[in-house]
Amino acid sequence: MARYDRAITVFSPDGHLFQVEYAMEAVRKGTTAVGVRGPDHIVFAVERKSTAKLQDPRTVRKIHKIDDNIVLSFAGLTADARVLINRTRIECQSYRLTFEDSPSVEYIAEYVSGIQQRYTQSGGVRPFGISTLIMGFDTDGQPRLFQTEPSGNYTAWKAVAIGRNMKTVKEYLEKNYSEETAQDGVKLACRALLEVVEAGGKNIEVAILRKGQSLEFLTEEKVDEYINIIEAEKAELEKKKKPAVTD
Amino acid sequence: SLRAAASGVPTSAVQVQSMAGMDCLIGFVGQGFAMLATDRNAARSIMVYSQKEDKIRELDSHKMLAVGGDPADTVQEPEYFQKNMALYALRNGVPLSTHAAANYMRGEKSYNLRRRLSAVDMLLVGYDEGVGPSLYFIDYLASMQQLDKTAMGYAGFFVNSTLDAHWKPDITETEGLELLEMCFAEIQKRFMISMPNFIIKVVDKDGIRVLERPPK
């Protein structure tokens, strides 16, 4: 087995590309990122890694504006993400220069995943150790949410999670995503993230992209507000579940 | 940058009759604002294609560029600058200052000049917080100068003296419009080419606006 996981250009006898799978392991170690697509808005809620006391938190961003209408978040190796984000920003402007139009979200997702795939089929390079979440509005006004993986695969989602504990979060989203709950994407995204992250505005970063508006980062206070509402609703639900005490 | 994507331009020595000079570009700074005005003719040889051309490009929320010269270059060059400036703003979270933008454009024009001929004149005008309004003259030879008031093209011959006589450092927007009307009158009286329409744009702390000419 060890012989088939050195160079990524080598398949293993049972059809695995081990380096790609190891890259996905790196993603599973990264902090969680959740994306939720509503009818006219899309939300990213990401786990904020605790910054050291003397560190400037402004430089530890996980949600990045790629273009006026496209936003990217990720889980995995931050430096790898920085490189991909840079190239994607250039591609957006290049597209605009050529076509005098903004690129669709799918175009960008395909572009990012195309780069990631190329790094699984070249000699001497390793795959990017990140999965990305790409959200945005197309020119037809529709919101879109895509996920890319180290393998170079990309898929569209209504709601998704990547990074550590993503299974728990995805299960929660599958159970609780509905047309009704999607109306308030921030609440749903926060509720999902709170399944695996400690409650508190300093542990969660939330950004919302509304149709026709630029990206908005929620302040820590605003996030705390949402968390309080969510905790109150949870308590209500718990109370209803407990059977009434009868003497 | 996008330079790699835009390379591959042939450097043949075909001489095209340069139309540089036919575009009238006027600009000046005032009290908390900067103004640009251009004619609206799009013409070649003896033919007028349109008299509704908008020669003032908005580069971002607080910068605009009046462009004159050879037709296709006047579209390609500013668009290339604008996209690279947008890329800078996305990468760094802040847009370029007007001063930085002017120097960037001058540098690119200088680089291009050593590879091919380009006849594009520009007037860059912008408003920066803490600095106020500024005007930069960048001609087709990539000479750049920050100025209070100027006019490019043949119009310059007629209008620079009017600007010299009537512009003052604390000129207001209303006085600026009056000054422009004096400039337009001079052009329409003395310049051989008919220029019936002009477009005026102003930038201040609140962004860019298109100004209506006062009714006759």
A214–chain B Cβ distance below 8 A for any pair: no
Q: Which of A93, A94, A100, A101 to mutate to test the interface with B (most CBs of B within 10 A)?
A: A93
Q: Which of B16, B14, B78 is nearest to B45 (CA)?
A: B16
What element of type H or E holds B190? helix B173-190
pLDDT tens by residue, B156-203: 899 999 999 999 999 999 999 999 999 999 999 999 999 999 999 999
Cβ contacts from A onto B, under 8 A = 27
User: At residue A133, what is the residue type?
Assistant: L
Q: Which of A60, A66, A97, A102 to mutate to test the interface with B (most CBs of B within 10 A)?
A: A97
* Alpha helices, DSSP H, located in chain A: 18-29, 78-99, 105-118, 166-176, 185-194, 220-241
Closest residue in B to A95 (Cα) is: B83
Across B2-18, average pLDDT: 47
Answer whether residue B54 shows pLDDT above 60.
yes
Cα A70 to Cα A107: distance, rounded to the nearest angstrom = 11
B94–chain A Cβ distance below 8 A for any pair: no
Mean pLDDT by 10 residues, chain A (247 residues): 65 88 95 96 92 79 94 96 96 94 95 95 89 95 96 96 95 94 93 90 91 92 92 89 69
Could you tell me the pLDDT band of residue B106, with boundaries at 50, 70 and 90?
very high
A96–chain B Cβ distance below 8 A for any pair: yes
Of B79, B80, B90, the CB nearest to A89: B90
Please report the pLDDT score of residue B3 as a whole number: 58
Answer whether residue B13 shows pLDDT above 90.
no
More confident residue, B51 or B216: B51
Report chain B residues whose CB lies below 8 A from the CB of A92: 90
Please report the pLDDT score of residue B18 as a whole number: 59
B89–chain A Cβ distance below 8 A for any pair: no
Q: Which of B90, B91, B96 to mutate to test the interface with A (most CBs of A within 10 A)?
A: B90
The pair of structure tokens assigned to A120 is: 């699984």
Across B68-74, average pLDDT: 91
Answer whether residue B7 shows pLDDT above 50.
no
User: At residue A214, what is the residue type?
Assistant: S
Test B90 with A67 for CB contact under 8 angstroms: yes
Q: Which of B133, B105, B110, B137 is nearest to B121 (CA)?
A: B137
Please report the pLDDT score of residue B6 as a whole number: 46
Test A94 with B5 for CB contact under 8 angstroms: yes
Report chain B residues whose CB lies below 8 A from the CB of A97: 2, 5-6, 79-80, 83
- Cα-to-chain-centroid distance, residue A163: 8
**Total-model pTM:** 0.84
Report chain A residues whose CB lies below 8 A from the CB of B90: 65-67, 89, 92-93
Please report the pLDDT score of residue B10 as a whole number: 44
User: At residue A209, what is the residue type?
Assistant: L
Report chain A residues whose CB lies below 8 A from the CB of B87: 89-90, 93
The pair of structure tokens assigned to B184 is: 């337009």
Cα A77 to Cα A129: distance, rounded to the nearest angstrom = 5
Please report the pLDDT score of residue B15 as a whole number: 44
